Amino acid sequence: MIPIVVDKHCNHPRLEWIDFARGITIILMVLGHTTIPNYISKYIWSFHMPLFFVVSGMMYNPIKYESFGVLLKKKIKKLVIPYFFFSAIVFCAYYGTPYWNTSELYLGWKGYALWFIPVLFWGNLFLFFITRIPSRFFQILVAILGLVVSESFYLLDLFPF
């Protein structure tokens, strides 16, 4: 039986194992960016962000967004605005250093801590359209096609970041 906890601040039950998985991904992210031995950090990096995205995808609720406009507005408020705010801070902090590059704000900060935010944003948009496909078979087919296209872009170095 999966333990369920009711959160006082929202009107839906929370699954403890999801909170546990989120906590694990945060701890692993912090550990991966410390001075632990390289073989341990490589092991952590092999799965901690995929685990984060899987857990995030599991928590996506298609019923929550009655239209694309509602989703877009909410995700701009929760992801895009904070991304640009913190990017501007990083951008200003790097001004005058060898790390300063005007294209980085658009390109996703190539390996810096903020890269996952645009990925999460575009993943949410993709999930919105996938969940609107009436056939489960075609949902899976489109998701697999999206993964193949994404991996192909990566292998051919077609991503701008």
Asked whether residue 129 is domain-assigned, the answer is yes
* pTM of the predicted model as reported, rounded to 2 decimal places: 0.70
Please state, rounded to an integer, the average pLDDT across all residues of the chain.
Answer: 79
The model's confidence at residue 43, banded by pLDDT at 50, 70 and 90, is: confident
| Domain final residue, candidates 59, 80, 99 | 59
**Distance between CA atoms of 122 and 79, rounded to whole angstroms?**
10
Q: What is the pLDDT of residue 137?
A: 93
The model's confidence at residue 77, banded by pLDDT at 50, 70 and 90, is: very high
Asked whether residue 80 is domain-assigned, the answer is yes
CB 65 within 8 A of CB 74: yes
Mean pLDDT of 74-93: 85
> For residue 21, what are the domain limits?
1-59
Q: How far is CA 56 from CA 85, 105, 135, in A?
A: 22, 24, 22
Asked if residue 135 has pLDDT above 50, the reply is yes
Mean pLDDT of 58-83: 89
What percent of the chain is predicted at pLDDT more than 70? 81
* Same-domain pairing of 86 and 34: no
Task: Give the 3-state secondary structure of residue 11.
Answer: coil
Asked whether residue 64 is domain-assigned, the answer is no
* Same-domain pairing of 39 and 94: no
| Domain final residue, candidates 11, 31, 59 | 59
Q: What is the pLDDT of residue 110?
A: 55
Domain count along the chain = 2
Q: What is the pLDDT of residue 1?
A: 46
